[in-house]
Amino acid sequence: MYSVTKGKYDDGYISYLLDTYSDTVIRLCFSYVRNMHDAEDIAQDTFCEIIRRKPEFNDDNHEKAWLFRTAVNKCKNHLKSGWVSKTGYIDDGVSEPSAEDSGLDDTARAVFDAVMGLPEKYRTVIHMYYYTGLSIAEIAAAKHISTASAGTQLARGRALLKKKLGDDF
């Protein structure tokens, strides 16, 4: 954990946060909003929020949970906003990467597509557990649910994935 003097955030700490968590926060946001541009914007807002609020953390887990919880809340607010439902996306000529372009083989792409097709509460837990490496306790803290609920959602998400992908996976 980066040592922060009480109430003082320096450039080193901000760089540490970005280096340590930016990819994970962007992936988490993408799992919610399913649009990379929006995910990057929400992740940026999340890091701006930590700079504005300057919370004090007891340890790395508290810091990580705060970032993920803030990102999840911002994603939910984004999805509830009238902006999302009343606007469409401009086709900027950039398409979803194909399996070949993305570096994913057919199996990995099938799994990714199946995860993205899950209902939001299962997709998020699966994503947090497998793609961001959070423990069930960290997921529960980030989602403000009990560890039992997080474990149940993970098990149900796995069952849905097994049903979608078949026994070969």
- Average pLDDT rounded to a whole number, residues 79-107: 59
Tens of pLDDT, residues 121-130: 898 899 889 8
pLDDT band at 14 (very low <50, low <70, confident <90, very high): confident
In this predicted structure, what is the pLDDT of residue 33? 85
Alpha helices, DSSP H only, in the chain? 11-33, 36-53, 60-80, 82-86, 99-102, 106-116, 120-126, 136-143, 147-165
Domain boundaries, the chain: 1-84, 101-169
**How far, in Å, CA of 126 to CA of 148, rounded?**
15
In this predicted structure, what is the pLDDT of residue 169? 62
The CATH code of the domain at 1-84 is 1.10.1740
As a whole-number percent, the residues of the chain with pLDDT over 90 amount to: 28
**How far, in Å, CA of 165 to CA of 169, rounded?**
6
**How far, in Å, CA of 46 to CA of 60, rounded?**
17
Of 169 and 155, more confident = 155
Of 4 and 36, more confident = 36
pLDDT band at 41 (very low <50, low <70, confident <90, very high): very high
Q: Give me the architecture of the 101-169 domain, per CATH.
A: Orthogonal Bundle (1.10)
Residue 96 has pLDDT above 50, yes or no: no
Structure tokens at 44: 């940026």
